[in-house]
Amino acid sequence: MDLTHRAATLDDLDEIRVVVRRAIEQLQADFLTPEQVAASHQVMGVDTQLLRDGTYILLLAGDRIAGCGGWSYRRTLFGGDASVITREPETLDPSIDAARIRAMYTDPAFTRRGIGRRVLQLCERAAWDGGFRRAEMMATMAGEPLYRSCGYVRLEEPIAAEAGDAAVPLVRMGKLLT
């Protein structure tokens, strides 16, 4: 499969939202209850600040988004525009803070092909180029096995992000970048 990548723009937002919705609904189902999957839409999603900052990456198979994800030099650790999570737009200091790996999604039609790993590598490289030597993320239970295989470790025990009548489990993970 021939893949290309580029920074996402606001013009890509509708297509990104389709991938995000499909990924949440289909890829979380083996890890969460139906109520938690539904609540995930209130916790996860794309933060358009990443697109405006130029730090959100699309991995393309032809003209189709196979995967997407971003990194951030801002304090917000997770959550999208429509989520119940509060935004923290303050910038981080790369000499002491960890870059944030954010909003990682693979289109369900492209799973098990190294898409998530490739997007993660692109984000880590960009964060390194931005001066960061560590990365942190808030991982879903479905994403944790991939991140662990890429060298991330749990920094805390899982938390439960409350959204409506359900709590969505998430785990903060981190890694030294090399």
Torsion of CA 177, 124, 75, 38, to 10 degrees: -120
The three state secondary structure string of 61-123 is ECCEEEEEEEEECECCCCCCCCCCCCCCCCECCCCCCCEEEEEEEECHHHCCCCHHHHHHHHH
Q: pLDDT per residue over 55-102, tens digit each? A: 999 999 999 999 999 999 999 999 888 887 777 899 999 999 999 999
Mean pLDDT of the chain: 95
pLDDT of residue 82: 82
pLDDT of residue 72: 98
Measured between alpha carbons, how far is 178 from 158 in angstroms, rounded to an integer?
A: 26
pTM, to two decimals? 0.95
Q: pLDDT per residue over 63-73, tens digit each? A: 999 999 999 99
pLDDT of residue 1: 79
